[in-house]
Amino acid sequence: MYRVLATASALLATARAQQACTLNTENKPALTWAKCTSSGCSNVQGSVVVDANWRWTHSTSSSTNCYTGNEWDKTLCPDGKTCADKCCLDGADYSGTYGVTSSGNQLNLKFVTVGPYSTNVGSRLYLMQDENNYQMFDLLGNEFTFDVDVNNIGCGLNGALYFVSMDKDGGKARYSTNKAGAKYGTGYCDAQCPRDVKFINGVANSDEWEPSASDKNAGVGKYGTCCPEMDIWEANKISTAYTPHPCKSLTQESCEGNACGGTYSTTRYAGTCDPDGCDFNPYRQGNKTFYGPGSNFNIDTTKKVTVVTQFIKGSDGKLSEIKRLYVQNNKVIGNPESEIVGNTGSTITDSFCKAQKVAFGDPDDFNKKGGWSGMSDALAKPMVLVMSLWHDHYANMLWLDSTYPEGSTTPGSARGSCPQDSGDPDTLEKEVPNSSVSFSNIKFGPIGSTYSGDGSTDPEEPEEPEEPVGTVPQYGQCGGINYSGPTACVSPYKCNKINDYYSQCY
């Protein structure tokens, strides 16, 4: 994407480094979310900021583009340091340029937006604490809940919500040449060690930049940027997955060339992060009727659904499991049991991850790059919330919603019901430009504090015999300080202590 502005009389930045300019006013969309305790939830007034990669990047002394289409200007950017000295990031018109709008606690992301100066594809945004800092979340021992509507994103698209170990200020304090900071969406990193990020560590990633042959807005530079990643939600209306990705380092760090590994390098597992992760996709785990469009699925993606993710501590204070629940039509619905031989379970645990790699014959890069212990350590530290809508120029999103690798019949290759010829980026941009996803009602707090609903009743299951009065349904509260309700769980579930304030039936 590029931006050419006719207005040249506005205030220009005079500082030198990766800067912020003010030809465009930066008005971040407001977004309300809730912080919860055992006694209730209270609203927090936040906002979101678009990633620096999407922003208009131009000369600090004029409106001349530093980056046009998928190429750097060779005069302004002969090398990364000079480029950072001569170029700046500018403010964003969120709705007109990026198709991003908000109302109350809901954020809406549009796939393709035709603006006055450009055609924008997708977006990536971060929740802000204040004008200059990202909102940070300590996930270990807590749960994160949100509502999502994926009815308008089909095969090949990904409405993602996830956490990464970015710096709170976008790297402004660590890297003196980064003058823009979180206010302008800098500092991105993830477990793919992406090399398409335009500024890394306060320096332009223009060295050895190769424009993409298929993506008119992107390319690959010499450097990548790595950090742990917790994918809470990668989904469209056909498939969904949640996936932890550990790294050897718990904080953002840069990498160089193919040693970065991940999607953007020739050797996928060469880097310090696990690009595959340990995923739980119900379809991939053998349940093809749990998630999809229509009332014949346990989770009907034609309707809004509440997604609950619990990061449960064990007795040693470390991560013991990552549990997924859904709430739809006021029913709490547990994640389905895996139907893969040798890979049982309905939650992500250390043993589940190890068994999955064996069952599917996948490289166990998860344990080589920090494993379960490393992921526990990452979740114990503050992470940044990311919300995005994107398509995939590398694998057409087949790894999420179709068969991948293409044509494979091995266990784990079937990930969704989308055709193997679906997901072509150019086709999606032309045929479904008005696709959109909405995230809303974000809540964060101790286990059991962010959601409510009745016990689950899967549509396919026969009715169970009526339980005695005074029993607690599956995933309901059955104990804890100041709790005065029933403590007996419906059969066959037992009351498990999560913390002093909350016990749960499962």
Question: What does the pLDDT look like over 283-295, one tens digit per residue?
Answer: 999 999 999 999 9
d(CA 466, CA 482): 28
Q: What pLDDT digit, counting tens, does each position of 452-474 carry?
A: 987 654 434 433 334 444 677 76
Q: How many CA atoms lie within 13 A of 121 on its CB side?
A: 20
**Does position 114 have pLDDT exceeding 90, yes or no?**
yes
Above 50 in pLDDT, residue 446?
A: yes
Residue 35: band (very low, low, confident or very high) from pLDDT cuts 50, 70, 90? very high
Tens digit of each residue's pLDDT (9 = 90 or more) over 144-153 = 999 999 999 9
In angstroms, the CA 237 to CA 239 distance is 6
Q: In the predicted model, what is the mean pLDDT of the chain?
A: 92
pLDDT of the residue at 487: 86
pLDDT at 380: 99
* 391 neighbors 156 (Cβ within 8 angstroms): yes
Specify the pLDDT at position 495.
84
Query: Given pLDDT bands bounded at 50, 70 and 90, which one contains residue 305?
Result: very high
| Cα(350)–Cα(302) distance, integer angstroms | 33
In this prediction, residue 475 carries a pLDDT of: 63
Q: Report the distance separating Cα 274 and Cα 193, nearest Å.
A: 9
Average pLDDT over residues 244-260: 98
> What single-letter DSSP state applies at residue 29?
P
Q: Report, as an integer, the average pLDDT of 213-218.
A: 95
- Looking at the DSSP assignment, which residues form a beta bridge with residue 178? 18
Phi, psi values for residue 449, rounded to 5°: -95, -10
Return all residues near 21 (Cβ < 8 A) that are at least 6 apart. 12, 13, 58, 60, 88, 89, 90, 91
Positive or negative, the CA dihedral 108, 113, 118, 122 is positive
**Which residue spans within 51-84 are E strands per DSSP?**
57-59, 67-68, 71-72
* Integer Cα distance of 358 and 85 in angstroms: 50
What are the beta bridge partners of residue 326?
307, 333
pLDDT band at 12 (very low <50, low <70, confident <90, very high): very low
Higher pLDDT: 265 or 306? It is: 306
Contact 65, 3 (CB under 8 A): yes
Hey, which residues are catalytic here? 229, 234
pLDDT tens for each residue of 43-68: 999 999 999 999 999 999 999 999 99
Q: How confident is the model at residue 322 (pLDDT cuts 50, 70, 90)?
A: very high
H helices, E strands: number in the chain: 7, 36
Q: Is 80 left (phi over 0), alpha (psi -120 to 50) or beta?
A: alpha
Asked if pLDDT for residue 198 goes beyond 80, the answer is yes
- The answer to whether 96 touches 110, Cβ cutoff 8 Å, is no
The pTM of the full predicted model, rounded to 2 decimals, is 0.88
DSSP 65: B
Q: Give 123-136 as a DSSP string.
A: EEEEEEEETTEE-E
- CB of 178 closer than 8 Å to CB of 202: yes
What local confidence, expressed as pLDDT, does residue 468 receive?
43
- How far is it, in rounded angstroms, from Cα 31 to Cα 375? 28
What the block records as the tokens of 248 is: 């050897």
pLDDT of residue 491: 77
CA distance 390 to 110: 10
CA distance linking residue 195 with residue 142, whole number of Å = 32
Note whether 199 and 266 are within 8 A (CB).
no
Q: How far apart are CA 113 and CA 317, in angstroms?
A: 46
